[in-house]
Amino acid sequence: MTADRVDDVAPDYDEIPDAIVVVGADGLVVTCNAATRRVLGAGVDEMIGLPLADALPLSDAAGRDWWQVTNPFGGLSTRTRQVERVLQLPDGRYVLATASYVRASRGAPVDRVVICLRGTEARDRAEREHADLIATVAHELRSPLTGIKGFTATLLAKWDRFSEDQRRLMLEAVDSDADRLTRLIAELLDVARIDAGRLELRRVPTDLSGLVRKRVEARVVAGVDASRFALNASEDLPEVWVDPDKMGQVLDNLIENALRHGDGTITLTVRQDPDGLVMSVADQGPGIPPGRAHRIFGRFWKGSDRGGTGLGLYVVNGIVEGHGGRIALVPPPEGGARFVVVLPIGDPVAELSVGDTDPAD
């Protein structure tokens, strides 16, 4: 193989991060790029001039030689490519492979085949995350379902043996577990919508201080000691255009994190600054180690082993960003964890120019 032939076919393949292998009309490798060493374990010197099947001995899921199956230089004269597939190397590793058939004109013989290969690390990581999500959801669903099933089965079988107070206590436990299931399902739906960029927000002018106060009162009614909370809200704050249900979900999640992972007083602050309305939730717990702070808004992050799906802060971040705001972890000097949310003031619909659309719709 001459240098002129190689240069005519592919002068700059080394700039491509995936492995590129170019095969001429005679079925021999013409050139390959530097990434082939990383992906395949073989480089330019070892591969140029080899027959395709020898240079790239790939097999499909059934163990068949992939090039005999696809027959790159035969078959339909209208073929232009092979879609991406997972194929196996002789050493057991898998690669994602696709191929383009280059012809001088439609129906003409194949002049060369350009093969692109990449590792499966990203796909494997996505599959692991999917498996983690299924395992986490199954675990989180099982606990409340076990409680619901246990109490309802007991009541149905032995209703007359219990007093009115005992029956009420068991029904309250069933109601609490049902609420937990509802929250989990809503959280999973929000994750799917955020990933798809289709989070629905129904914005109305909202008193953010009043919303914070209501969420704290709901926790106290649910049995949390009122002395755990300190609310600092400036007077005469402007309203913000938010979805009160979604923003309530943000508050519930931040308060729940503070109750579950923090200690001492939970301080909720609402104030105005030049960037908009600032809302913060701070606790006096151990805080989050600096080395883990960058991961807190990702999927499956958990501050401790005290349960939960690890999706809460991912959803919180998606909701806040959907409102055009931002959220950050800003540890207070005295220690603990403090989450700060900044929301823009004003009607986002009125601020859109003609022809624009609300990105949350």
- Residues 218 and 336 reside in one and the same domain: yes
Report the percent of the chain where pLDDT is more than 70: 89
99 belongs to a structural domain: yes
- Residues 162 and 216 reside in one and the same domain: no
Of the listed ranges 33-42, 100-109, 235-244, 251-260, the one predicted with least confidence: 33-42
How many CB atoms lie under 10 A from the CB of residue 66?
Answer: 20
The pTM score is 0.62
The pLDDT confidence band at residue 304, using thresholds 50, 70 and 90, is low
Domain stop point among 133, 166, 196: 196
- Amino acid of residue 174: V
- Residues 100 and 158 reside in one and the same domain: no
The pLDDT confidence band at residue 2, using thresholds 50, 70 and 90, is very low
- Residues 141 and 238 reside in one and the same domain: no
Residue 244: predicted pLDDT:
93
What is the CATH number for 150? 1.10.287.130
Residue 165: predicted pLDDT:
92
> Do 178 and 197 meet the contact criterion of CB atoms below 8 Å apart?
no
- Residues 243 and 304 reside in one and the same domain: yes
Domain stop point among 93, 119, 145: 119
- Residues 178 and 303 reside in one and the same domain: no
Residue 124: predicted pLDDT:
78
> Do 333 and 282 meet the contact criterion of CB atoms below 8 Å apart?
no
- Residues 98 and 224 reside in one and the same domain: no
Residue 303 has pLDDT above 70, yes or no: no
Residue 343 has pLDDT above 90, yes or no: yes
- Name the strand (E) or helix (H) holding 241: strand 240-242
Mean pLDDT computed over 62-80: 86
Of the listed ranges 48-52, 164-168, 182-186, 323-327, the one predicted with least confidence: 182-186
Residue 357: predicted pLDDT:
44
Mean pLDDT computed over 123-149: 80
Closest CA to 93 of 49, 123, 69: 123
Domain stop point among 86, 119, 152: 119
341 belongs to a structural domain: yes
Structure tokens at 216: 């704290």
Spatial neighbors of 325 by CB under 8 A, at least 6 apart, are: 276, 341, 342, 343, 344
Mean pLDDT computed over 141-169: 90
pLDDT in tens, 229-240: 999 988 789 999
Residue 350: predicted pLDDT:
52
Residue 6 has pLDDT above 50, yes or no: no
359 belongs to a structural domain: no
The pLDDT confidence band at residue 9, using thresholds 50, 70 and 90, is very low
3-class secondary structure, 83: strand
230 — phi, psi (to 5°)? -135, 120
What is the CATH number for 329? 3.30.565.10
267 belongs to a structural domain: yes
If one counts the domains in the chain, the total is: 3
- Name the strand (E) or helix (H) holding 244: helix 244-261
Report the percent of the chain where pLDDT is more than 90: 34
- Residues 277 and 192 reside in one and the same domain: no
pLDDT in tens, 258-302: 888 877 899 999 999 888 999 999 998 887 877 677 778 877 666
Structure tokens at 59: 């097999």
Mean pLDDT computed over 144-150: 89
Residue 10 has pLDDT above 70, yes or no: no
- Residues 192 and 213 reside in one and the same domain: no
Residue 156 has pLDDT above 90, yes or no: yes
Across all residues in the chain, what is the average pLDDT? 83
- Residues 175 and 41 reside in one and the same domain: no
* Residues of the domain holding 48: 3-119
Instruction: List 338's β-bridge partners, or say none.
Output: 282
pLDDT in tens, 308-339: 567 888 899 999 999 999 999 988 887 888 99
Residue 119: predicted pLDDT:
84
- Residues 208 and 320 reside in one and the same domain: yes
3-class secondary structure, 322: helix
Q: Which residue has the higher pLDDT, 125 or 258?
A: 258
41 — phi, psi (to 5°)? 85, 5
Mean pLDDT computed over 214-235: 89
Residue 247: predicted pLDDT:
94
92 belongs to a structural domain: yes
Residue 263: predicted pLDDT:
79
358 belongs to a structural domain: no
Residue 300: predicted pLDDT:
64
Q: Which residue has the higher pLDDT, 5 or 19?
A: 19
- Name the strand (E) or helix (H) holding 37: helix 35-40
360 belongs to a structural domain: no
CA distance 92 to 89: 5
- Residues 159 and 230 reside in one and the same domain: no
Closest CA to 56 of 25, 11, 23: 23
356 belongs to a structural domain: no
128 Cα distance to chain centroid: 12
The pLDDT confidence band at residue 359, using thresholds 50, 70 and 90, is very low
3-class secondary structure, 168: helix
Residue 348 has pLDDT above 90, yes or no: no
The pLDDT confidence band at residue 358, using thresholds 50, 70 and 90, is very low
Burial category of 289 from C-beta neighbours within 10 Å (exposed 0-12, middle 13-18, buried 19 and up): exposed
DSSP letters for 189-229: HHHHHHHHT------EEE-HHHHHHHHHHHHHHTT--GGGE
